[in-house]
Amino acid sequence: MKNLSDKRSYKAKIPFLLDPSIVILVIILTLFGLLMIYSTISVSDSENIYFFKQLNAVIAGIFVMFFASRINIKSLYKISKYMAFAALILVILPLIPGIGSNAGGAQRWVKIAFFRFQPGEFVKIAAIVFLANYYSRHENGIKTWKEGFVIPLICFLGGIGGIFLLQPDFGSAAVLFLAGAIMACALGVRIKHFLLAALPLAFACVLVVAAAPYRLKRIEAFLHPFEDTSGKSYQLIQSLITIASGGFSGVGLGNSQQKLHFLPAAHTDFILSVIAEEFGFIGVIVLISLFFIFFLRCLKIASRVSYDTFSYALAMGLLFLILVPAFANFGIVTGLLPTKGLVLPFIGFGGSNVIASFFTVGLLLAIVRGVYKRDI
């Protein structure tokens, strides 16, 4: 048995940054995001407020990441079963009159005094934490239809996703379900259960799309982008023009022409298009490589905690909360996926998204801290 001095010596070995490579990657991505937001909006001095809003969110996010990295995983496990209620409360908040705030025809924000945020970003984290707890408590039933698939994915994620659709926020619902599904597969949920549910889920998706005319227009724009270049396909066409303008090496930082009010949402959902124009194919490949390295580092974290179902499930779920919207955004701006409002993590403008992304990374670092302390 280790004595007290042994424990102190062991604790001293815990690195301050826990996993320096992940912290450095996140800082690089965030600083590059700030640079691109400034480049994108600098065409108008009155719009520089977006840069300072993002900068404030980044500063807050760094503090949140540090706080989250100090969370004891064992303590988190004890309260994680209550995260289902937290997720449910948060996802309902935007729909409550007097609290919810409407913007662009969507009821996704909450405004309290001068503070405005998007709860959906934190709903996804709470839901993933609960799922990790659920699967750790039902290890013996992971491969069963009811306990491994129906209850966690259809009932829980389906319920949260249904409320997301009321806002409407199809993107958050899709990201949450995909991240949860990948987590389930990593834990051993049978693929045949996904195949059995594929047809009903596909039918449900068709109903969801058909129920909203704007979603049908997005699908039409995706399938036939050049039939209405000035209408429903305008954003995608402008994105493709922006990407093509960059060529192999780009036109140079700050020299984008498409950001001059030709490309809608240039500093948010379609900031990758501006990156492609200013830094070219090389810049995009470097950016994708950074996310891929992030993926590999997080996989290593997950492999180091494979002895603990909760920590392993949590690491996988959190990882794909970052990667699913990242690679979906890559697909959207290049026309490989239908247009949908998904911010590129750490890069695109969005205060709630930035803080939630930093919080996600902080929890991953907390898992690393748990690895160092597990033998104490």
The lowest-confidence range among 41-45, 165-169, 183-187, 229-233 is: 41-45
Select the more confidently predicted residue: 206 or 83.
83
Checking 330-337 for CB contacts under 8 A at 24+ apart, the result is 330/272, 330/288, 332/269, 333/239, 333/243, 333/269, 333/270, 333/272, 333/273, 333/276, 334/239, 334/240, 334/243, 335/222, 335/225, 335/236, 335/239, 335/240, 337/222
Average pLDDT of the residues in 11-19:
65
Strand runs labelled E in 44-178: 100-103, 106-112, 115-117
Average pLDDT of the residues in 41-70:
85
Instruction: Provide the angle, in degrees to the nearest 10, between the axes of the packed helices 170-187 and 309-333.
Output: 140
What sign does the dihedral 235-171-104-41 (CA atoms) show?
negative
Query: What are the pLDDT digits (tens) for 322-351?
Result: 999 999 999 999 988 888 778 999 999 988
Phi-psi region of 248 (alpha: psi -120 to 50; beta: other; left: phi over 0): alpha
Check: pTM over 0.85? Answer yes or no: yes
- Check residue 7 and give its pLDDT: 43
Does residue 215 register a pLDDT over 80?
A: no
Identify residue 6 by its one-letter amino acid code. D
- Check residue 319 and give its pLDDT: 96
Strand runs labelled E in the chain: 100-103, 106-112, 115-117
Mean pLDDT for the chain? 86
